[in-house]
Each structure stands twice: as C-alpha cells, then as structure tokens.
Structure 1
Amino acid sequence: MNKRGITTAVLIAGSLALAGCGSSSAAESEATPSATTPPADGGTYATVEELKDAFVAAGGSCPAYEQSNIVTLAAESAECSSEAVLSTYLSSSDITQLIQENKDIAEQYDIEFSSWLVGENWVINAPGAEELHEKLGGTVVSW
C-alpha cells in the first residue's frame, strides 16, 4: 500500500471510530463533505464567519462582509452586499419559523423573494442559490 493509501485508510478508520461515538443523525450532519459531494443537509457551521468562508469557496461573492447580527431569530448574521445575507441559527425550528414568517409576508404583500439556500443550522439569502446548492448541500427554498 502506498503512502496515500495508508493515509486514506487511517482517515477512514478514524472517521468510522468517531461515527460510532454519536447517533447516526449527528454523524451524518457533521460529516465532512468530499471534494465533490457536500452533505445532503448542508451540515452545520459554528459561526457566520465560517459560513461566509464556505459561501466564498463555493463561488459566492462577499465584497463587503459585515457581521451585524440583525436577522430575526438568528444566532449570528452578516451581510456580504445588499443582495447577500448569511445567517446561522441555534435550532432548525428557528429556521422553519423564519421561512414561514417570510412566506406570510410575501403572500400578504404580493412580494417575490429570491430562493434561499438552507442548511441544518444556516441560511444563505443570495443570488445563485441553485448553483451554491451543488457545492454546499442543503435545500433550496423558494416561494
């Protein structure tokens, strides 16, 4: 076995050992995506700055990053531009509530919102949600 094969085997064995320490849903959610396949649920980010780094690595534009923490229900939020807002949450129920509130506003005032990319504990409200989905995982939400 060559050096790369040994390294891969050690990483896989370590991942399997760690996966056995928690529930299957936690292991799946926190799994590091491969270079080609992100976690289906988008995984989690500890901070909005980590989400911003992933957003930019996936091709998102963030020319004017400012963490403002003004998004309702978010643990942290930041603006990358007037068209891109990133946010992280303490629970998925907060995201569900945020989406429902925005759907209600859209219906009440006949407003069309752009699609959002929603992960396990994060939301990206920016152009190109469908393209970002391919690299970050998560779910594209539209209304």
Structure 2
Amino acid sequence: MAVNQINKDAIRDVCYTARDMKNVRAVSFNFHTPYPDTRELALSKEEKAQCCEVISQMMDEGVPVFNLKSAFPYLINNSFPTPCAQCLVIENGKISVCGRCIDVPGLCDECGYFFVAEYTLLFGGNLRVIFEMFRTYLKYV
C-alpha cells in the first residue's frame, strides 16, 4: 500500500483485511513519493510519524506486516542513504538503479519506498535492521 493523503486513514482496515484473507501472507507499506504532478498526495513528517505509529500498533497486535519497525525513524525523516544500489527496477525495457526516482532531480530526498530504506540500512550494516529483517523475512517468506 502506498500511503498518501487520500488513504492514510485506511491503514488499520488494510491491515485487518490482510490478516483476514486466507491467501494474503502480509501487507507491505510505502509512503507516497511525490513524482511530478503528485506533490499534493505527499505526507508531512508528522503524518508519516502518525502512520508509522498505526503500523507499529498493528504489528504489535500480530497483524501480518512485511516492513521493519527499526527503519521507521529513517523513513519519517528521510535520513536513509539513497539511491539504493541493491534495488534494480526494470520498466519498459529500461534497467534503473533504485527505480525512477533517480531520474527526477531531488526526488531521492523525498523517497517513500520502505524497501529502499530497509535495504540501504541492511546493506549498510545496521545491526538492528539486520536482526529484524531475519525475523520478519523468515516469518513471511
């Protein structure tokens, strides 16, 4: 789920739906990355923090969420290294490191992709993220 101004209040419902659906193993969240013409959908730092609090509560309740809590502070503050050299995206025959963000000047500074934060922190040697990744990935993969 890409969380934005339109759906930010639906996080709990999405979590409960994932929990209650037999064939869904987990839900994964991202924040809206404000590509050109979508800036109005972006969340403020405070809204990101509120969303992470709700996601954390859902995780504490045992709802299947495929994200790492230890990366949340980095996501809220956009303080993780970008671009993510470990992430490759193939779109329309073009291979990009870390998706389309790098093609838009300054957009990496507003990246909302949880996996980018998680992977850059993981491969950067963040021990808390490494241990949580093993627990989470072994649970859902």
**TM > 0.5 between the two?**
no
TM-score by length of structure 2 reads 0.29
Greater radius of gyration (CA): 1
Structure showing the higher helix proportion among its residues: 2
TM-score by length of structure 1 reads 0.29
Structure showing the higher strand proportion among its residues: 1
